[in-house]
Amino acid sequence: MSIYGENDKQGQYWNEAPGQSWVSNDTAMNERLETISNILFEDLDVIGCNNGLDIGCGAGSTTRRLATIMGNQARVTGLDISEKLLALARSHPEISRKNFLQADAQSFTFEPASFDLAISRFGVMFFENPSKAFQNINSAIKKGREMRFVCWAPLAANDFFLSPLNTVVDITGLTFADPGKEPGPLAFSDRSYLFSILKSAEFSSINIDIVETSISTKDSVEKNASLLMEIGMGSRAIKEAAPTDEVLDEIREAFVVDGNKRLQNGLISYDATIYKVSAVA
């Protein structure tokens, strides 16, 4: 087994150039995902919770928020496969460096029934074997306690992914293959499939709510275009197409034009649809 547990491919991805792009854009992405973070934490029951787990915590913004909600007497562990993102998480003084753990949640040996609560903001869609991963996570949560996470609904319902992707496809002529259920942001976009995964992992009281929301930023259209060049489905398509510098400039300018069309009252906004998922161990 590698240092990335049973998810070597994802470990390499998140610890090399793509992972670094998320480090560089952490503040920008937290701004864009603020509304979705609020949905994740809405009505979260932390009564009697003394030990929380944040799965795929990235640079730790949700870990810090969970720690604030649970209070000073509680302990929160942020777990992620990316050392680059965890290094940023550990740089924040609000929470101890010791609270962040580099590990693969699919294969890490958790202390059984050690957590009162587990959450994730877009951190559970990257497992090579999701059934096994959720079984392992289930084993780490006390019986009768909640796991809650948000994940993306289908591509067609998420303009932040779809619009840049279509732009790159139109300009480059790339034939972009639907990633399907492969590890990645859209791995659980099939709601029935997601339910079956959680059921097979022996979770109960499974709720998968469809929530329509938005992704917005106060960034300039130029800064927003630069981010889209580095993160998201458009960025993935750019890497596949491997365009010339001239074509890259054309793509960036198209992102700027699109951003100007979306700009209202100082905000650039994209429609987004997520699943808000809760289940009981």
Phi-psi sector, 122: left (phi>0), alpha (psi -120 to 50), beta: left
Residues in a beta bridge with 80? 102
Per-residue model confidence (pLDDT) at position 99: 92
Q: What confidence tens digit (pLDDT) does each residue in 161-189 have? A: 999 999 999 999 999 888 889 999 999 99
Instruction: Note down the domain range covering 192.
Output: 8-154+180-215+274-280
Q: What confidence tens digit (pLDDT) does each residue in 215-231 have? A: 999 999 999 999 999 99
Task: Evaluate whether residue 220 is within a structural domain.
Answer: no
Per-residue model confidence (pLDDT) at position 42: 97
Percent of the chain's residues with pLDDT above 90 = 88
In the chain, the amino acid numbered 268 is I
pLDDT tier at 107, thresholds 50, 70, 90: very high
Is there a contact between 185 and 154 (Cβ–Cβ < 8 Å)? no
Task: Evaluate whether residue 173 is within a structural domain.
Answer: no
Per-residue model confidence (pLDDT) at position 1: 59
Task: Evaluate whether residue 224 is within a structural domain.
Answer: no
Reduce the DSSP state of residue 5 to 3 states and report it: strand
Task: Evaluate whether residue 196 is within a structural domain.
Answer: yes
Q: What CATH number is given to the structural domain containing 78?
A: 3.40.50.150
> Per-residue pLDDT for 247 more than 70?
yes
Provide the mean pLDDT of the chain: 95
Q: What is the pTM (predicted TM-score) of this model?
A: 0.95
Instruction: Using alpha carbons, select from 194, 109, 108 the residue that is nearest to residue 149.
Output: 194
Task: Evaluate whether residue 130 is within a structural domain.
Answer: yes
Task: Evaluate whether residue 169 is within a structural domain.
Answer: no
Per-residue model confidence (pLDDT) at position 20: 83
Total domain count for the chain?
A: 1
Strands (DSSP E) contained in the chain are 51-55, 75-80, 100-102, 115-121, 141-152, 204-217, 263-264, 267-280
Q: What confidence tens digit (pLDDT) does each residue in 27-78 have? A: 999 999 999 999 999 999 999 999 999 999 999 999 999 999 999 889 999 9
Which string of DSSP letters, residue by residue, matches 206-258?
A: EEEEEEEEEEEE-S-HHHHHHHHHHSSHHHHHHHHH---HHHHHHHHHHHHHH
Task: Evaluate whether residue 262 is within a structural domain.
Answer: no
Per-residue model confidence (pLDDT) at position 197: 98
Task: Evaluate whether residue 211 is within a structural domain.
Answer: yes
